[in-house]
Amino acid sequence: MSFASHARTSLAPFLYPFSTYELKLATRLAKQLRNQPLQLRCWNSTTSSTHLDDGAHPATANGLPTSRLNPPPDSYSLTPFLDRCNVLVHAGNGGHGCVSFLRDKLIANGPANGGDGGSGGNIYIQAHKGETSLHKIARKSNVNAGRGRNGQGRNKGGERGEDIILTVPVGTVVREVWRDDPMAEEERRWHREKKTMKDGADGNGRGTLRPDRWLLYPGAPASAFATGEFPMLPKPRRSHLAAMEPQPPVRVDLDQHMERPMLIVAGAMGGFGNPHFVSQDIWKPKMATRGEQGMKMMLQLELKLIADLGLVGLPNAGKSTLLRSLTNSQARIGHWAFTTLQPNIGTVVLDDYKGRSKMLATDRKTGERRTRFTIADIPGLIEGAHLDKGLGFQFLRHVERAAVLAFVVDLNAGDAVAALKALWNEVGEYETRSGEQLNLDTEQHGTLEWKPINTAMPMYDEHGNALISPEAELPPLALSPVTSKPWFVIATKADLPDTQENYVSLMRYVEELSDGSLPHPSGKANAWRRKVHAVPVSAINAEGVERISEVVIELLDM
Ligand SMILES: Nc1nc2c(ncn2[C@@H]2O[C@H](COP(=O)(O)OP(=O)(O)OP(=O)(O)O)[C@@H](O)[C@H]2O)c(=O)[nH]1
Ligand SMILES: [Mg+2]
């Protein structure tokens, strides 16, 4: 059977129809297009306004009636998207201890009963499959957990500070840029002081006067620090939760949906109330300690994965229309290049638990039912994108961050095979260049410090000096090469007349590619080409698009 007849009979019956209904539909569409004056198809501002004036159709350039899949250019909603940000997190400070003495009807001058301060709030992080972007976190830039409340009289401890949970998309890598840990300094100081006392240099057993650590009774004059007797400062305490913090420096790869949040920084401990300082020498301690200071940490959050499927295509190929036809997205659609300037993420729901699911699929990694997958409509690539033409690098960065790639080619815009080759050329060259850049960096700065997630690296040298400076740039994230990703082709605008031959030659090309008789269009010998599909669709009519979900599910599990 020839390719053309194969396509006609099995692959695209809705596109090149022979049933009565489909034939009628196709004839009507083709007729509509033929009847349009040519300038209506080639948009410019004059023709558009003429078009509006005659009132036949609202402002759609292709002359088709407006619908959700063929909206006027001003009918869209912009969803913010960000795939990288820095955020300064500050664990909560501890509350102060309390200076208080029991006073009762019968006891005029009772014992010390000041409560301890509450501990500060913790910072947690949780990857959630409902999140697609980091913009909500980036908006804050500083995230402060709540401070612990101060202790009170009658031995009442202070309340704990409020915890903070950073909710991020699945596929986020969290890396520490720098940290400021006041507790580490306190601990070093305490050990130094203890050693001095032991050596007998200051053998009176009294601590140094540290107004920043001690708290006197309310209304005490400043001179009380000089005249009062202070015991040695208690050893600085860390919260028992600190044992659950990731090893420094924090390197966490959140590639699974998390049911429970994970601790990043524990809050600081509260200060001691005055009963802690009762001794033989000091019966009525008029001092308590201040709460410890919470740790500050600069975190870099970066999405290693922006979506399960990335739509890669030339400008105006019909990517946003395709996204709309598969999801509830309100992405902007326009008949000019670069309508889309930042990725739009949409979710394809396979099972909404309202009845029979659209498709039964299991995630091979987790063994769980797959109920949805996400799609990123990536801005169009132009020739020379790998040389950073247009907004080349920024757009290609997103291509690297999709699990499966769909190359969207417009069947109505010249040779589809040439378009596919041009796209692969840009992507392949980008990969080569980023590899070269990485090698160059390695030559200049020695081995790049990207270690597997969660391995501990020393933060301080033996003298307590920070090894990682706040200005240090983190190395680029190690991502899997683009050419190793499973991919397929979506041939759009197949409703337009005379696109059949183009599709057939595209199909022939990908078949020969899959069986290894042709070299991979990226020029890379080991590029993925196990089973390349070419799916013909008419996104504007939502025809043929169901097949895309089937192919994506198949490729996601490869
Ligand atoms: N006839 C027909 N027209 C389509 C189809 N899909 C998209 N179009 C039209 O093609 C034009 C471009 O569509 P978009 O979805 O904005 O294309 P895009 O690839 O997102 O473009 P950029 O964001 O600029 O890269 C619009 O005028 C759409 O109406 C289709 O299946 N059939
Ligand atoms: Mg677009």
What DSSP string describes 406-425? Answer: EEEEETTSS-HHHHHHHHHH
Query: Tokens in use for 475?
Result: 């190395």
* Residue with CA nearest ligand 1 atom 1: 493
Distance separating alpha carbons of residues 521 and 510, to the nearest angstrom? 10
* Burial of residue 63 (number of CB atoms within 10 Å: 0-12, 13-18, 19+): middle
Q: Which domains does the chain have, with CATH numbers?
A: 84-303 (2.70.210.12), 307-556 (3.40.50.300)
* Residue with CA nearest ligand 1 atom 16: 333
What atom of ligand 1 comes closest to residue 539's alpha carbon? Answer: 31
* Residue with CA nearest ligand 1 atom 21: 316
Tell me, in angstroms, the distance from the centre of ligand 1 to residue 333's CA.
6
Q: State the helix-helix crossing angle for 416-445 and 392-399, rounded to 10 degrees.
A: 100
Q: What pLDDT is stored for residue 67 in this prediction?
A: 87
Probe target for ligand 1 pocket from 57, 316, 407, with the most ligand atoms within 8 Å of CB: 316
Q: What pLDDT is stored for residue 32 in this prediction?
A: 46
The percent of residues in the chain predicted with pLDDT above 70, rounded, is 77
User: With contact defined as beta carbons under 8 Å apart, do 144 and 90 qualify?
Assistant: yes
* Residue with CA nearest ligand 1 atom 2: 493
Q: What is the mean pLDDT of residues 502-531?
A: 89
Q: What pLDDT is stored for residue 28 in this prediction?
A: 45
Element (H, E) at 50: helix 45-53
Q: What pLDDT is stored for residue 154 in this prediction?
A: 93
Kindly report the CA angle at 404 between 403 and 408, in degrees rounded to 5? 140
Residue 362's φ and ψ, nearest 5 degrees, are -120, 140
- Where b means 16+ CB within 10 Å and e means fewer, 373-398 reads bbbbbbbbbbeebbeeebbbeebbbb
Q: What is the mean pLDDT of residues 133-152?
A: 92
Residue 270's φ and ψ, nearest 5 degrees, are -80, 165
3-state class of 379 per DSSP?
coil
Q: Is 333 in the pocket of ligand 1 (CB under 6 A)?
A: yes
The region of weakest confidence among 20-24, 195-199, 353-357, 485-489 is 20-24
Residue of higher predicted confidence among 115 and 467: 115
Tell me, in angstroms, the distance from the centre of ligand 1 to residue 383's CA.
19
Q: Is 213 in the pocket of ligand 1 (CB under 6 A)?
A: no
Q: State the helix-helix crossing angle for 416-445 and 500-514, rounded to 10 degrees.
A: 40
Residue 467 has pLDDT above 70, yes or no: no
3-state class of 274 per DSSP?
helix
Q: Is 532 in the pocket of ligand 1 (CB under 6 A)?
A: no
Residue 367 has pLDDT above 60, yes or no: yes
Q: What pLDDT is stored for residue 21 in this prediction?
A: 37
Residue 452 has pLDDT above 50, yes or no: no
DSSP state, residue 383: T
User: With contact defined as beta carbons under 8 Å apart, do 15 and 494 qualify?
Assistant: yes
What atom of ligand 1 comes closest to residue 492's alpha carbon? Answer: 31
* Residue with CA nearest ligand 1 atom 29: 70
Query: Which of 47-51, 341-345, 349-353, 441-445 is most confident?
Result: 341-345
Residue 18 has pLDDT above 60, yes or no: no
Residue of higher predicted confidence among 67 and 390: 67
Q: Is 492 in the pocket of ligand 1 (CB under 6 A)?
A: yes
Tell me, in angstroms, the distance from the centre of ligand 1 to residue 540's CA.
8
User: With contact defined as beta carbons under 8 Å apart, do 306 and 231 qualify?
Assistant: no
Q: What is the mean pLDDT of residues 437-465?
A: 47
User: With contact defined as beta carbons under 8 Å apart, do 204 and 198 qualify?
Assistant: no
Query: Tokens in use for 252?
Result: 């966490």
Residue 8 has pLDDT above 70, yes or no: no
* Residue with CA nearest ligand 1 atom 30: 493
Tell me, in angstroms, the distance from the centre of ligand 2 to residue 319's CA.
5
Question: What is the DSSP pairing of strand 251-254 with strand 172-180?
Answer: antiparallel
Question: What's the first-to-final CA gap in the chain, in angstroms?
Answer: 30
Q: What is the mean pLDDT of residues 540-558?
A: 90
The region of weakest confidence among 7-16, 249-258, 266-275, 396-405 is 7-16
* Residue with CA nearest ligand 1 atom 25: 315
The residue type of 553 is I
Q: Where does the pLDDT of residue 442 fall: very low under 50, low under 70, confident under 90, or very high at 90 and above?
A: very low
The region of weakest confidence among 149-163, 324-338, 441-455 is 441-455
Q: What is the mean pLDDT of residues 105-110?
A: 85
Nearest ligand by distance to the CA of 391: 1
What atom of ligand 1 comes closest to residue 334's alpha carbon? Answer: 16
Q: What pLDDT is stored for residue 454 in this prediction?
A: 36
What atom of ligand 1 comes closest to residue 311's alpha carbon? Answer: 19
Query: What mean pLDDT, rounded, does the chain reach?
Result: 80
Q: Where does the pLDDT of residue 33 fall: very low under 50, low under 70, confident under 90, or very high at 90 and above?
A: very low
- Residue 26 Rama label (left phi>0; alpha psi -120 to 50; beta): alpha
Q: Is 319 in the pocket of ligand 1 (CB under 6 A)?
A: yes
Query: Which of 10-19, 157-166, 173-182 is most confident?
Result: 157-166
* Residue with CA nearest ligand 1 atom 32: 493
User: With contact defined as beta carbons under 8 Å apart, do 516 and 420 qualify?
Assistant: no
Q: Does residue 315 have a cis bond before it (omega within 30 degrees)?
A: no
Probe target for ligand 1 pocket from 321, 398, 545, with the most ligand atoms within 8 Å of CB: 321
The region of weakest confidence among 164-173, 363-372, 398-407, 506-515 is 363-372
Residue in the structure block whose two tokens are 């042709």 = 518
Q: What pLDDT is stored for residue 198 in this prediction?
A: 67
Question: What is the DSSP pairing of strand 307-313 with strand 214-216?
Answer: unpaired
Q: What pLDDT is stored for residue 30 in this prediction?
A: 43
The percent of residues in the chain predicted with pLDDT above 90, rounded, is 37
Q: What is the mean pLDDT of residues 525-546?
A: 90
What atom of ligand 1 comes closest to residue 321's alpha carbon? Answer: 15
Distance separating alpha carbons of residues 283 and 100, to the nearest angstrom? 13
* Burial of residue 71 (number of CB atoms within 10 Å: 0-12, 13-18, 19+): buried
Q: Is 398 in the pocket of ligand 1 (CB under 6 A)?
A: no
Q: 4 forms bridges with which residues in the sheet?
A: none
Q: What pLDDT is stored for residue 538 in this prediction?
A: 93
Tell me, in angstroms, the distance from the centre of ligand 1 to residue 411's CA.
11
Report the largest interatomic distance among the alpha carbons of the chain, rounded to a whole angstrom. Answer: 107
Q: Is 539 in the pocket of ligand 1 (CB under 6 A)?
A: yes
Residue 302 has pLDDT above 70, yes or no: yes
What atom of ligand 1 comes closest to residue 537's alpha carbon? Answer: 31
Q: What pLDDT is stored for residue 509 in this prediction?
A: 94
Q: Where does the pLDDT of residue 39 fall: very low under 50, low under 70, confident under 90, or very high at 90 and above?
A: very low
Tell me, in angstroms, the distance from the centre of ligand 1 to residue 338's CA.
11
Residue 493 has pLDDT above 70, yes or no: yes
ipTM above 0.85 for this complex = yes
Tell me, in angstroms, the distance from the centre of ligand 1 to residue 493's CA.
8
The strand ranges marked E within 101-171 are 123-128, 142-144, 164-169
Write the CB contacts of 251 (distance below 8 Å, at least 6 apart in sequence).
173, 174, 175, 176, 451, 453, 454, 455
Q: What is the mean pLDDT of residues 80-84?
A: 89
Q: 251 forms bridges with which residues in the sheet?
A: 175
Query: Which of 44-48, 197-201, 369-373, 493-497 is most confident?
Result: 493-497
Q: Is 340 in the pocket of ligand 1 (CB under 6 A)?
A: yes
Q: Is 170 in the pocket of ligand 1 (CB under 6 A)?
A: no
Tell me, in angstroms, the distance from the centre of ligand 2 to residue 354's CA.
31
* Residue with CA nearest ligand 1 atom 27: 335
Q: What pLDDT is stored for residue 456 in this prediction?
A: 40
Q: Is 315 in the pocket of ligand 1 (CB under 6 A)?
A: yes
Q: 534 forms bridges with which residues in the sheet?
A: 489
- Residue 219 Rama label (left phi>0; alpha psi -120 to 50; beta): left
Write the CB contacts of 295 (distance below 8 Å, at least 6 apart in sequence).
90, 91, 179, 180, 181, 182, 183, 265, 268
Tens of pLDDT, residue by residue over 189-223, are 888 877 777 665 444 555 556 778 888 887 777 77
Q: Is 48 in the pocket of ligand 1 (CB under 6 A)?
A: no
Q: What is the mean pLDDT of residues 393-410?
A: 88
Tell me, in angstroms, the distance from the centre of ligand 1 to residue 287's CA.
73
Task: Name which of 324, 308, 316 is nearest 402 in CA terms.
Answer: 308
User: With contact defined as beta carbons under 8 Å apart, do 295 and 268 qualify?
Assistant: yes
Q: What pLDDT is stored for residue 446 in this prediction?
A: 42
